[in-house]
Structure 1
Amino acid sequence: MEPFSGTTSVYVFGAGGHGKVVLDVLLSENKYVVKGILDDGPKSDTLFGIPVKKNFNRQKLQARNCIVAIGDNAIRKKIVTTLDTNFIMTIHPNAIVSKFAKIGPGTQIMAAAVVNPDAVIGNHCIINTGAIVEHDCRVENYVHVAPNACLGGNVTVGEKTLIGIGATVIPNVTIGKNVTVGAGSLVLQDIPDNAVVVGAPAKIIKYQDLN
């Protein structure tokens, strides 16, 4: 389950709020030397004492270790597709991740999160602070499970979907791609692609633009 042993150099792409959390995880693991933080529009020159670089050559990142620390799913995917690099995953020391779970590269699992046996989490996902992914879940690429959200057993979540803060999805539900589940919502049935759902029980209020 652990991506590396020993000390490993890594670059972090993203100097915003989510970047701070990812950086904190990397520093807490005591496995990484953060060589630099990359951001196209940084608000400061350093983050936790580490230089933030605006003008950088993406080609120089080839074969380097990198993690994209952007909270927005669509933007995270867009940046990932511009980088030819070795994406690492990172797991906070206080997270509980079953040795029988599968975690894809680029995925970030934050403090107090729980990932239970036979869960499969794709690439470049965020399992945020205190979130729970129960047994046999299937979480596709670029999904964000926000703080304190809970996926019951055998839930499937499609690519680029956001499960909002404190939302709950009951077992055996399938949620489509590019869905937004509002904060605190209770999902009791399958949700189609591109839907925005809110409430308890969650109901569709609109569909998102695909562009």
Structure 2
Amino acid sequence: MDKPVIILGATGIAQSALEIFNSNQVMVYGFLDEDESMHGTEINTVSVLGNPEDDGFLKLIGKKSEAFVAVDDVKYRKYLVKMLNEKRKVQPVNAIHNTANISTDAVIGHGNFINARVVIGTGAEIGQHCIFHTGAIIDYKAKLGDFVQVGAGSVINSEVTVEEGAFIGSGVTIVSGVKIGKNARIGAGSVVIASVGDNETVFGNPAQKVK
């Protein structure tokens, strides 16, 4: 990556994103965050410059710098991605830790956060703007939609389908062939042996619907 990166968001995964870019020798120009109390402060010597919606900073994105959206909240993440698409005509770049193991046959979209020791297997399809925490495993031919979040140490086995906006907590196991619906939520440590519907929340071993 030739251009420096501006990170939108300065909390949550933002500091990890900074580490990822540093580990890949990519310069981070600064952070943008809506919390005014953070403006003018530094995170590991990198300044929080101002608000993500400040046109003075946004105009740097495109010709002079790339952007990465480091926001955990899906709704706000979608808002910032849409803003970058419409105002700057750009897609956020991927933040991929140099210890991640990604198959050359995997297909990966834009704007994904892929932390240390994540494994993405052969033929896996990853959408855009997903978050994969440390040590998550996405096995071969699994298909994940946009804005999916996978917790640390979770295992998504072969040919699983995870639809847009689903949240999978830490230490979850999803057995082969299961489908996880749009905006579904899987509680930490769960073992999912049956498909989960749109907007459903499940928890436990085996995972059961939470009413």
After TM superposition, the score normalised by the length of structure 1 is 0.90
C-alpha deviation, 1:53, in angstroms: 2.0
Q: Does 1:193 align with 2:187?
A: no
- AA at the equivalent of 1:25: I
Q: Which structure: greater strand fraction?
A: 1
| Structure 2 contact 6–61 (Cα < 8 Å) conserved | no
The counterpart of 1:35, out of the listed 23, 29, 32, is 29
2:13 is aligned to 18
Question: Distance between the aligned counterparts of 1:52 and 1:92, measured in 2?
Answer: 22
Q: Alpha-carbon deviations, 1:38-92, whole Å to 9, x = none?
A: 1111553111111102242265155241010112222211221122334111211
| Structure 1 contact 73–161 (Cα < 8 Å) conserved | no
Is 151-160 or 39-48 further displaced after alignment? Answer: 39-48
From the superposition, tell whether residues 42 and 107 of structure 1 become closer, same or farther in structure 2 (CA, over 3 Å). farther
- AA at the equivalent of 2:28: V
Instruction: Please give the secondary structure, in 2, of the residue aligned with 1:129.
Output: coil
The counterpart of 2:49, out of the listed 30, 50, 53, is 53
Q: Alpha-carbon deviations, 1:106-131, whole Å to 9, x = none?
A: 01111011000000100001111000
From the superposition, tell whether residues 36 and 70 of structure 1 become closer, same or farther in structure 2 (CA, over 3 Å). same
Question: Distance between the aligned counterparts of 1:92 and 1:146, measured in 2?
Answer: 16
After TM superposition, the score normalised by the length of structure 2 is 0.90
Instruction: Please give the secondary structure, in 2, of the residue aligned with 1:17.
Output: coil
Q: Alpha-carbon deviations, 1:153-201, whole Å to 9, x = none?
A: 0000011111100011000000000011000011001100001111111
The counterpart of 1:162, out of the listed 143, 164, 167, is 167
2:141 is aligned to 136
Unmatched runs of 5 consecutive residues or more in structure 2: none
Unmatched runs of 5 consecutive residues or more in structure 1: 207-211
| Structure 1 contact 42–52 (Cα < 8 Å) conserved | no
Poorly superposed stretches of 4+, deviation over 3 Å: none
What is the correspondence of 1:69-80 to structure 2 with a 5 Å cutoff? 69-80=70-81
Question: Distance between the aligned counterparts of 1:26 and 1:175, measured in 2?
Answer: 31
- AA at the equivalent of 2:191: L
Instruction: Please give the secondary structure, in 1, of the residue aligned with 2:30.
Output: strand
